[in-house]
Structure 1
């Protein structure tokens, strides 16, 4: 197993790479230092060993972890929470009020993920361990969680990617943990002088209008930085928000066009791939770049969410 030391950010924040899907720099867990050690996101269960390894490298014992904060309950962000709790007996879990019951009884989460990932589910996410209800605490818009004298987290209801999504403001860094609502940060092309941002439109609660409203809300907070679930920190929040807002209507339009032309899910994927390939070529990214392996997976899931959204809208 490839080892990677936690990434030191500013303001006593560290980032542990969970090697989600086997990719370096795909999904991470943020460690917020202070009187009460706090983790933001756990990633899926296969990443838990990476988290424990990262904590050890930071001279933190699992027993010292007091808070596990989840932006939303999709398994690539929260699937490992129950398993991690076995090693962190003093930790409490904080989640959106609409997601709490699904962590206590993850049967619907498992069913939904199996529908998306099929035979790959076990390798990607197993095991999904239920979280005892007494360990679960719901957070809603405007709630706070005090970590230390310097650091207070404020929670915001930020749907668009999911109805049970929280954006989280960190007072010390003036940073935002945006989960998936403000998209994905693709840093893999930094070797070509490019970092770019795309929306993530996975099923089954994707809502572009709500996503736009949440991103506008993030922008109004005037953050100094954004901490992405996928992956890492951006100190150019405006640029990140702009790109996601620009790509979002493109994604929806291409999906609509594909379905109207009878091209189905494959057509949505093909159109998104063509749009992104054209963009990356213009930016000097070669066709054989490794970023396309990650983009292929993301496009497949995004296409499912776009098709689901359009189908629901047509029935409304």
Structure 2
């Protein structure tokens, strides 16, 4: 069986499928097959459906053999295609965190919120219309639940930090974790230097929680994990090194957000200040700092990708990260929690 430009073989009867969101190499989902049954971890968007169906066909797997569809959380790059896949895969059950189930069953609010961010035309081009999932085909994944794939067991583990409705999937067969966003973002094309891998936490709005994220990573590293399967992007081995780097970068992001908050706090408190304009300036400033931090990290690793290309690849990530960090800062400062 030959690989295609759509998917590649990770071993262990696992295929990494490029969902094609925005560009190649940005977002993935994973096909796991065992004993004549299959599971999909994360779904891409509705527009990813043709790529997923092609991958099934390439593996001689019928849609009826797919038993579990497992979005790690309900952000649209991970779960936007769930409803459309459920239509195509009549024997599948959707496995979803209890905090995200309602958004899969009645997705109108989720879709409206995303349209407000992207605009209707851009939203349709990237994500496509969400399809509701019948409630009777939804299984709530509790922490530690197991889902059989023939003789293979997949276990869901709750991992707050990026989002409160997030779980990861532990697969003992591969000694692997399907991590959604919990193990951060590490694009292979940027890991071309001589140093350690480049990784950052996707602090996208609105549930970034650094303390919970540290706890989740610590818990996962108590497992005998040998590899992680990132939605953004691909399989990575030596996960202890990756976890240590991500711990470090979470703290860097928190400190950058606090620095920007301190820089702007006096101006925001002025009676005659334009709060909206200052908030916009604050976001631009933090986004710029995050981008420069990324460029500095990659330069230190002797990354061979030109800075102009790096900026292009990371622009969307850094914009969302700045938004999420400022939302966290606004929620934490009044209560004195600080993260």
TM category (shorter chain) comes to over 0.9
The worse-fitting range, judged by mean Cα deviation, of 74-83 and 34-43 is 34-43
Contact map agreement 2:295 2:310 (CA 8 A) in 1: no
Match of 1:20, SS state, is coil
Aligned to 2:25: 25
Aligned to 2:82: 81
Aligned to 1:95: 96
Task: Note the residue ranges of structure 1 that are not aligned, 5 or more in a row.
Answer: none
Aligned to 2:241: 239
1:112 aligns with 2:131: no
Match of 2:254, SS state, is helix
Contact map agreement 2:21 2:45 (CA 8 A) in 1: yes
Aligned to 1:34: 34
Deviations along 1:137-189, one digit per CA (max 9) or x if unpaired, are: 1011111111121x101111110111011011101011111110121122112
CA RMSD of aligned residues (A): 1.6
Aligned to 1:302: 321
For normalisation by structure 1, the TM-score amounts to: 0.94
Task: Note the residue ranges of structure 2 that are not aligned, 5 or more in a row.
Answer: 265-280
Contact map agreement 2:291 2:311 (CA 8 A) in 1: no
Larger radius of gyration: 2
In the alignment, the residues of structure 2 paired with residue 132 and residue 94 of structure 1 have an alpha-carbon distance, to the nearest angstrom, of 12
In the alignment, the residues of structure 1 paired with residue 50 and residue 8 of structure 2 have an alpha-carbon distance, to the nearest angstrom, of 17
Aligned residues: 312
In the alignment, the residues of structure 2 paired with residue 217 and residue 193 of structure 1 have an alpha-carbon distance, to the nearest angstrom, of 29
In the alignment, the residues of structure 1 paired with residue 167 and residue 113 of structure 2 have an alpha-carbon distance, to the nearest angstrom, of 20
In the alignment, the residues of structure 2 paired with residue 112 and residue 159 of structure 1 have an alpha-carbon distance, to the nearest angstrom, of 21
Match of 1:15, SS state, is strand
Match of 1:200, SS state, is coil
Aligned to 1:218: 220
Deviations along 1:260-314, one digit per CA (max 9) or x if unpaired, are: 2125100110111111111112222344463432211100001110000011112
Query: Deviation at 1:192?
Result: 4.0
Contact map agreement 1:6 1:57 (CA 8 A) in 2: no
Deviations along 1:206-246, one digit per CA (max 9) or x if unpaired, are: 11111111011111113011111111111110111111111
Aligned to 2:267: none
Query: Deviation at 1:135?
Result: 1.1
